[in-house]
Amino acid sequence: MGALDGRVAVITGAGRGIGREHALLFAKEGAAVIVNDVGGSNSGDGADAGPANDVVKEIAAAGGTAVANVNNVADWDGAQDLVQQAINEFGQLDVVVNNAGILRDSYLATMAESQWDAVIAVHLKGHFAVLRHAAAHWKQQSKDGGQPAASVINTASGSGTTIPNPGQANYGSAKAAIAALTLIAAEELERYGVRVNAIAPIARTRLTLATPGMGTMMAEPEDGELDLFSSANIAPLVAYLATEKCPITGQVYAVQGGAISQLSGWHDVSTIEIAGPWSIDDIAARLPS
């Protein structure tokens, strides 16, 4: 028996890279998978049904179950149709893996409005739109007397959590917001039987190789060496978080090669207090730099 037998999963951005590895492992572990990918370029331009359909064929050839979806997750109706497709095709929805993303890097002083809007739309709105429609389904299922044992795994990034990356104000902002969305969604949806977690992966993908300086760091290893930056290293954690009996919710994990780290967000590191009103001079004298 597979770890995900009987589960139905929607995986966005599953035509290539990390998302493809998620889809292949989920299917291998017994899940029925909706392979979503609009098939665009790194920057989100264009569309091609090929990547999603190729992954579906690969899963079918290995004896698994999958169907393709080429909707844009940043489109409200498209995200709703994606969720509904899982229910129509397989009668249920148990897992959402929000993974789709694009890059339009630029420094702040030269970033165009379109570069900001496109990245925020695909990453942040795309996460929210799919999650919102899935949450509505699970809420109704719970109200009707069903007992969801659902799981959502979002995709944050070190660029938005631990390693601010110049040139990625749009991407990092979206990813930081996704980490916050994860924690809020975990609090809201627990009552309906839904767990929500996030990963911040580091792997060799089209997007990371397009980031200056990353190509050299993530070069493929010599024959026989462990490939720490393979996208396949990310999928097992996501698959575990998607299992029915996994108890974890409201967590963000950095995952890379042979390491998984639990992350924690903003927290107090020092505090100054006063009994009366603040003055600017007092703050200047006492505030830690």
Catalytic pick from 107, 171, 240, 253?
A: 171
**Rounded Cα gap, residues 201 and 209, in angstroms:** 14
The answer to whether 228 and 256 are in contact (CB under 8 A) is: yes
Question: Which residue type, as a one-letter code, is found at position 7?
Answer: R
**Rounded Cα gap, residues 126 and 117, in angstroms:** 12
Beta bridge partners of 262: 253
**Rounded Cα gap, residues 217 and 119, in angstroms:** 24
Residue showing tokens 């091609």? 48
Q: Which 8-state DSSP code applies to residue 221?
A: P
Q: Using a CB cutoff of 8 Å and minimum separation of 24, what contacts does 264-269 make?
A: 265/161, 265/179, 265/180, 265/183
192 is catalytic: no
Residue 179: CB partners within 8 Å, gap ≥ 6?
Answer: 154, 156, 160, 161, 198, 200, 252, 263, 265
Question: Which residue type, as a one-letter code, is found at position 41?
Answer: S
Distances (CA, A) of 51 to 7, 58, 92, 133, 205: 23, 11, 25, 24, 14
**Residues with catalytic roles:** 171
